[in-house]
Amino acid sequence: MKKVLMLLIILFITGCTNNNKVATIIKEESSMLIGINYPITNTKLDMKIEKDINKIQSDFKNKYQSPNSNTKAELNIDYNINEFKDYISVVLNVYISSPKIDKNIEYVITYMYDKKNKKILKNNDIIDINNSKYIIKEELLKKYKNIKISTIDALINNSLIGIDPEYINIYFNPTEFNNLISIKIPNNNIKLKINITSEQINKVFNKMEVKSRVIDPNDKVIALTFDDGPSIYTEEIIEYLHENDCNGTFFVLGNKVKIYSDIIKKSISYGNEIGNHSYNHKWLIKLSEKDILDQINKTQNILNSVAGYTPTILRPTYGSTNDIIKNKTNLDVVLWNVDTMDWKYKSVNKIVARATKNLKDGNIILMHDTKYRTLEAIKKIVPILKENNYTCVTISELKEINLIRKIQNEK
Ligand code: ZN
């Protein structure tokens, strides 16, 4: 007897506009892992940020990668962006670990862009450090009790500023006396030289769209999965899948969810599944338990607040997992059995060939929705799947189908 699987998807759509995008560079080589996300603002700031990132990458390759070691070196760059009516504040967080150094390196780079005058501002243009010294000192000593009083003035003179709608974030990069430290001061407690009025973004929750899909559990199925997104290519991928009655699974990075919230919501409304791929693509197995859970929970929380959606599946970064990842979260770890290597191979035909070479019922195919060539490849892969009578399903659909088949076999 045929059983039919029905899936109901309920979602909330919110309206919100955003012009910023995120660039992603993820590389995995025998001696190093690189995970970089940075904002694209469509201003003069982009050239400066790209130049800095290129410099960090080449320094990292020269100084820290270690071809003869069992452990890979890792470079991770994460970002924070806050856009106001007249200004854009960007903070890059740089993290380096390597078998060549005892202690991980962590520091920040900050940028403040004046949209009206098309100018990158310096610290002095943002706040009058001398006038704010007292409150900065007070906050520093409150938060870091062991700080050496004699080093405070030097620290403050080298401080960096990032601004969000509620706080002035002040960063102090590592010196011989301290690691990277930071304090937050409420906006109205400190006098700024710039006027950061923010435009209110209206968040309207429109209830509720229901989409249903019918899958015969005896059909041949395949799961297309996409990591590291969303990106500027994701929308066209989900539109193409939608036109072809395909659903896929998108393992997203938490630090991109806000900027691409509309695309994520559209993706969910089309019946795609969203999975967790950490917050900023750090190599999870190298982190402490607290930091692993932090990476995962931050992404869960942001998907929940932005899209009312809670993932049930996790794909750990670089496909490497451990007992903490497996046992300390309630997410199922999902890897893959077909790797298209689309992050590495530039040839679309090669990616298509790798995806479709050994088609098998229940396969999970790994791709990345951060590359134009993956979008091109998908437009060739899906027709081949259809010719061979495969239905593209999400990971949760695949699990449910496997369960129904198991029950059928036991009868
Ligand atoms: Zn990844």
CA pair distance 176, 154, nearest whole angstrom: 12
Token digits of residue 25:
């560079």
- Place 128 in a pLDDT band, splitting at 50, 70 and 90: confident
pLDDT at residue 296, as a whole number? 98
Q: How many Cβ atoms from other residues are within 10 Å of residue 257's Cβ?
A: 24
Quickly list DSSP for 51-76: HHHHHHHHHHHHHT--TTSSSPEEEE
CA pair distance 6, 25, nearest whole angstrom: 38
Dihedral through CA 300, CA 305, CA 306, CA 311, nearest 10? 30
Give the strand pairing for 338-339 and 364-368: parallel
CA of 326 to the centre of ligand 1 (A): 17
CA pair distance 370, 38, nearest whole angstrom: 13
pLDDT at 200 over 60: no
CA of 277 to the centre of ligand 1 (A): 7
Q: How many residues does the chain have?
A: 411
**Arithmetic mean of pLDDT, 353-373:** 97
pLDDT at residue 149, as a whole number? 85
CA of 118 to the centre of ligand 1 (A): 35
**Arithmetic mean of pLDDT, 377-400:** 97
CA of 134 to the centre of ligand 1 (A): 44
pLDDT at residue 209, as a whole number? 58
CA of 82 to the centre of ligand 1 (A): 25
Give the strand pairing for 364-368 and 220-229: parallel
CA of 28 to the centre of ligand 1 (A): 9
Q: What is the pLDDT of residues 205-227, one digit of tens each?
A: 444 354 667 888 899 999 999 99
pLDDT at residue 212, as a whole number? 66
CA of 409 to the centre of ligand 1 (A): 36
CA of 283 to the centre of ligand 1 (A): 9
CA pair distance 289, 297, nearest whole angstrom: 12
Report the share of the chain in percent with pLDDT over 90. 78
Buried b (16+ CB within 10 A) or exposed e, 26-42: bebeebbbbbbbbbbbe
CA of 275 to the centre of ligand 1 (A): 12
Token digits of residue 340:
């298209």
Quickly list DSSP for 317-372: GGG---HHHHHSSSSEE---SEE--TTT---HHHHHHHHHTT--TT-EEEEETT-H
Residue tagged active-site, from 262, 277, 368, 369: 368
CA atoms within 13 A on the CB side of 270: 28
pLDDT at 115 over 90: yes
pLDDT at residue 130, as a whole number? 83
Check if 86 is active-site. Answer: no
Check if 368 is active-site. Answer: yes
pLDDT at 202 over 80: no
CA of 391 to the centre of ligand 1 (A): 25
**Arithmetic mean of pLDDT, 36-59:** 97
Burial class (CB in 10 A: 0-12, 13-18, 19+), 353: middle
What is the model's pTM?
0.87
Beta strands in 320-409 (DSSP E): 332-333, 338-339, 364-368, 390-393
Token digits of residue 18:
């955003």
Q: What is the pLDDT of residues 228-287, one digit of tens each?
A: 999 999 999 999 999 999 999 999 999 999 999 999 999 999 999 999 999 999 999 999
Residue tagged active-site, from 227, 262, 342, 369: 227
